[in-house]
Amino acid sequence: MTSQGCVDFLCYAPSLDGWLAGGWIDLGWDDQDEAPHCALELGEKTISGDAVVITFPRADVRKIGYGLILFVPGENTRAEGLQDVILTRHGQSFRLTPSEPLDHLTEADGVARTKALVSTAMRSSRRAHLLRLLSRPAFAGHDTLDQLQPPVFLELDSASLCPPDGLLLRGWMLDPFKSVESIRLRCAGNSAVIDPDHFVPIARPDVREGFSKQFGGLSDLCGFLAYAAGVYQAGEIVYFEVRTVNGDIGFKRVQQVRSPGIDTIKDTLGHLELRYEAMERAYDHVLGPAVKAMNAFRLQKPVGYREMSLGVQPEAPRCTIIVPLYGRIDFMELQLAFFSRTLGRQYEIIYVLDDPNLERATEALATSCLARFRLPFRLVVLDANVGYAPANNVGLTLARGEYVCFLNSDVFPKTPDWLDHMVETADARPDVGVVGALLVFEDETVQHEGCSYEILPEFAGWTFSLHPRKGRFPSDDDGIAPADAITGACLMMPTSLARAVGGLDEGYVIGDFEDVDLCRKAQAMGKQCVVDRRARLYHLERQSQGGQQSFWRLNLTLYNAWRFQNRWTRGTDPWIAPAETADRPA
């Protein structure tokens, strides 16, 4: 297609949610009221849609064409370089090519230039429509939300980065006269719709009380969490654009954006109490994508570590025991005391300290333990707190045993040959991929004898792993029993299988659901999960996390549950088995 016109300038106008361009088109163009289809070819991306096209007299091209202004709605692609503009009407296409040089204008300059050119065009409905668009107020750097009538109130407590370009927003909003038509978050030409229907509600009785005399009938649930994807650009101003049903527009600037991290995740989840269907909506639209992005960012840097070898290590260990430490480093001393009486020298022990602040104290304790118990082990000190799954995975990369046993630091042997039995079961059953033990509380009742799955209506109808015989006294049966899953408090599997499935999934935060996810991955590779009741250990349960229990912890468990549903129940984010083994029976 030969060129039938030229584009002289181009700009993206965030306040218009679209592109403005100006140039000329040849005399063959039929200037009708019907909107033509427009395709802006920008690098590898194309913006297409119905365009507003206006022609006007242009002296320098009067013998061959008309001056032309066009507006096409669409997102900011951030693509470099305009290739072509294709206008199509009644099956006839016109190709406009960029001039040399093409002027790339700011929004303010583009709107001003477009207004000046449109003013020379003949009056028409299209001209009037475009002038109305161009008259929309643009953000000038200061807040104007308080000038709206009827009033609208919007305040932010925090805005947290969800890399690479998302934002998690926490604040409160009042729209006492239901006058808000739309809310957008804008930054450097990017925009995202903020839909109040997708707000995660937060109780704010302080806000309700402060405005109750003025408006009355307000709900405590005027606080919110909201998530905006694809909008943030470092170093650029972020602001809200609130549009009312009357066509008025107000702006509210976001003053500061917090960096992502585990503290931000904890703070976010500490303000919520969700149940039933509201829980699923909250995690699907806000909490899930926000926490997923922040967790991925904090783990994107490779984990650094330093290793100490204490004592003479076994040359070819049958099994490597991996124990992450956080907070309660004293459990290492108690555990090694038990191990010195129950473990043969064919087993390797690796402690992974996931708490760098305790490095010196842990090293001193480790040296003391070696002197007293004469049991060789290795201590790996991570350079940052990364959480349960990453800490175990570091141990997995260093494991030399044929098998690997993931063990919590608050688990202590009850029977001296516990690990011998588990290894024996794995050796005798090639169909078994995961072996668990019978774990009991201090009062000898069952803590874990295999997991089973159950749907919990209170928690969005999601599937959770439960301990069916928990709190009951164990039976006299010392056999081997199948299980849906095994707790990560004591879970043994072939090292080759653990590595083949990628270890524990680090997308789960801190320590929930990684173990049952690992079991599901092993089952997808054609392996079974069993409990060997001959192997018995005490489990203090949750003590290995240093007793840090608070409301955010429940909501973080629910995030991990959401991730598990998406992979194994809903199938929206499925796990893919390695190609060389994907055809094994599940």
Residue 39 is predicted with a pLDDT of 94
Quick one: how many helices (H) and strands (E) in the chain? 13, 29
Instruction: Look at residue 583 and tell me whether its pLDDT is greater than 60.
Output: no
Q: How far apart are CA 368 and CA 72, in angstroms?
A: 73
Percent of the chain surpassing pLDDT 70: 96
Instruction: Look at residue 552 and tell me whether its pLDDT is greater than 80.
Output: yes
Tell me the one-letter amino acid at 258. R
Instruction: Look at residue 545 and tell me whether its pLDDT is greater than 60.
Output: no
Q: What is the pLDDT of residues 501-515, one digit of tens each?
A: 999 999 999 878 999
Instruction: Look at residue 260 and tell me whether its pLDDT is greater than 70.
Output: yes
- What distance lies between CA 438 and its chain's CA centroid? 35
Q: What does the block give as tokens for 151?
A: 């009033």
Count Cβ atoms below 10 Å from residue 85 Cβ, excluding itself. 28
Q: How many CA within 13 A on the CB side of residue 565?
A: 21
Mean pLDDT across 363-373: 97
Residue with the larger pLDDT of the pair 477 and 234? 234
Mean pLDDT across 114-127: 93
397 by Cβ neighbours in 10 Å (0-12 / 13-18 / 19+) ranks as exposed
Who contacts 371 (Cβ-Cβ below 8 Å, separation ≥6)? Answer: none
3-class secondary structure, 227: strand
Mean pLDDT across 135-141: 89
What is the signed CA dihedral for 20, 24, 26, 31, rounded to 10 degrees? 50
Report whether 152 contacts 250 (CB < 8 A): yes
Residue 81 is predicted with a pLDDT of 83
* CA distances from residue 533 to 422, 432, 443 in whole angstroms, order as listed: 9, 15, 17
Q: What is the DSSP letter of 16?
A: G
Mean pLDDT across 183-209: 92
Q: What does the block give as tokens for 509?
A: 């935060």
Residue 276 is predicted with a pLDDT of 85
Mean pLDDT of the chain: 92
Residue 543 is predicted with a pLDDT of 59
Q: What is the pLDDT of residues 237-248, one digit of tens each?
A: 999 999 999 989
Instruction: Look at residue 475 and tell me whether its pLDDT is greater than 90.
Output: no
Residue 98 is predicted with a pLDDT of 94
Task: Check whether the bond before 150 is cis (ω within 30° of 0).
Answer: yes
Mean pLDDT across 28-34: 81
- Backbone φ and ψ for 567, nearest 5 degrees, come out as -85, -45
Q: How far apart are CA 528 and CA 434, in angstroms?
A: 6
3-class secondary structure, 22: strand
- Backbone φ and ψ for 478, nearest 5 degrees, come out as -105, 25
Residues in the chain: 586
Q: How far apart are CA 540 and CA 466, in angstroms?
A: 17
Tell me the one-letter amino acid at 326. Y
Q: Looking at beta carbons, which pairs linking 576-579 to residues 24 or more positions away fall under 8 Å? A: 577/501, 577/521, 577/524, 577/525, 578/500, 578/501
- First CA to last CA distance, the chain: 55
Report whether 348 contacts 419 (CB < 8 A): no
Mean pLDDT across 102-123: 93
Mean pLDDT across 34-56: 91
Instruction: Look at residue 233 and tell me whether its pLDDT is greater than 60.
Output: yes
Q: How far apart are CA 389 and CA 65, in angstroms?
A: 67
Q: How far apart are CA 476 and CA 385, in angstroms?
A: 42
Render 361-424 in DSSP notation, one character per residue: HHHHHHHHHHHHH---EEEEEESS---HHHHHHHHHHH--SSEEEEE-TTEEESSTTHHHHHHH
Beta bridge partners of 322: 350, 406
Q: What is the pLDDT of residues 155-180, one digit of tens each?
A: 999 999 999 999 999 999 999 999 99
Residue with the larger pLDDT of the pair 542 and 244? 244
Is the sign of the CA dihedral 25, 28, 34, 35 positive or negative?
Answer: negative
Q: How far apart are CA 478 and CA 425, in angstroms?
A: 13
Q: How far apart are CA 455 and CA 178, in angstroms?
A: 39
The bridge status of strand 18-26 relative to strand 37-42 is unpaired
Query: Band of the pLDDT at 253, cuts 50, 70, 90?
Result: very high
Percent of the chain surpassing pLDDT 90: 80
Greatest distance between any 2 Cα atoms in the chain = 101
Residue with the larger pLDDT of the pair 370 and 34? 370
3-class secondary structure, 118: helix
Q: What is the DSSP letter of 122?
A: P
* CA distances from residue 429 to 167, 345, 437 in whole angstroms, order as listed: 50, 24, 16
Instruction: Look at residue 546 and tell me whether its pLDDT is greater than 50.
Output: no
3-class secondary structure, 325: strand
User: Starting at the edge strand that comes first in sequence, how are the strands of the sheet with 45-50 ordered?
Assistant: 45-50, 37-42, 82-89, 92-104, 5-13, 18-26, 65-73, 52-56
3-class secondary structure, 196: helix
Mean pLDDT across 301-322: 95
Instruction: Look at residue 584 and tell me whether its pLDDT is greater than 70.
Output: no
Query: What structural domains does the chain harbor?
Result: 5-134 (no CATH), 145-259 (2.60.40.10), 305-581 (3.90.550.10)
Q: What is the pLDDT of residues 54-102, one digit of tens each?
A: 999 999 999 999 999 999 998 887 666 899 999 998 888 999 999 999 9
DSSP H helices in 68-151: 107-118, 125-134
Give 287-324 as a 3 state SS string: HHHHHHHHHHHHCCCCCCEEEEEECCCCCCCCEEEEEE
